[in-house]
Amino acid sequence: MPPTDEALLDNPVYAALCGPHARFAQVRGRARRYPADVAPFLALPSSPSAQDWRDAAGLLAPGTYAAVRCSGAELPDAWQAVDAFDLVQMIGERVTGFDCPEAIPLGAADVPEMLKLVAQTAPGPFLTRTIELGDYLGIRRAGALVAMAGERFHLDGWTEISAICTKPDHRGQGLASQLVGALIAGIQLRSERVFLHVLSTNTGAIRLYEELGFRVRQTATITVVTRELRTLRH
């Protein structure tokens, strides 16, 4: 497998929107974001300037929300932190892809059922057009979708696995591991490496991914932001 630039993972949303996902990018200056129905992420260069934040403001209408890789303390005036999540970034160091006979490709027709599964399991953002970002696989039992996982951020040489979730009454059967293995197989066929993000509090998932051959690379804070609404003075 050819070498990959691990430094891209320091700012993965920006790397994706400047690279393989540039077709999705809404751009103003150096600021970029995904369309709001694809993914909720806003991206700035590392160490953004005041102008970068002004450009970002042009991509986010007042009263709407986006997720950005920074802490609330880094936000300039006119921006407000609504929520924050501490994430662990993991990269596949000793991962091996394998076939999952039960895994089936998911497409646009499956999105309503995928959204229902996401609502039950809260694996992270998955919206009406998120499926356009990459390949998604699912497992059905008695016709019902009970587990899924897919690809989200694509960087040069890297693909992120995301939206890993299993219906509560089907957990403990290894379905998530099977889907992750099948996705890894497809990613490795493209001579790419795999990474993912998981909440730092989800220690059970972190242990599972370590067992699958992932290692913790770094931690990061994702902050949900909005532009403050200005009150007109009379």
Cα 81-83-84 angle, rounded to 5 deg: 100
Mean pLDDT of 221-233: 76
Looking at the chain, list the stretches that DSSP marks H as alpha helix, in order from N- to C-terminal side: 12-18, 50-57, 111-121, 175-189, 203-211
User: Rounded distance, CA 188 to CA 1, Å?
Assistant: 8
pLDDT of residue 71: 87
Phi-psi region of 78 (alpha: psi -120 to 50; beta: other; left: phi over 0): left
Closest CA to 213 of 230, 196, 191, 226: 196
| Assigned token pair, 230 | 């200005």
pLDDT mean across residues, the chain: 94
Secondary structure tally for the chain: helices H, strands E = 5, 11
pLDDT of residue 208: 93
Q: Measuring CA to CA, how many Å separate 222 from each of 69, 87, 124, 134?
A: 5, 7, 12, 22
User: Rounded distance, CA 141 to CA 150, Å?
Assistant: 18
Calculate what percentage of the chain has a pLDDT beyond 70: 96
Amino acid identity of residue 176, one-letter, is A
Mean pLDDT of 10-27: 98
Please tell me the pTM assigned to this model.
Answer: 0.93
- For residue 5, pLDDT beyond 80: yes
- For residue 37, pLDDT beyond 70: yes
Calculate what percentage of the chain has a pLDDT beyond 90: 91
**Sign of the four-CA dihedral 220, 83, 227, 37:** positive
Q: What is the pLDDT of residues 127-175, one digit of tens each?
A: 999 999 999 999 999 999 999 999 999 999 999 999 999 999 999 999 9
**What pLDDT band is residue 1 in, cutting at 50, 70 and 90?**
very low
Buried b (16+ CB within 10 A) or exposed e, 187-200: bbeeebbbbbbbbe
**What pLDDT band is residue 234 in, cutting at 50, 70 and 90?**
very low
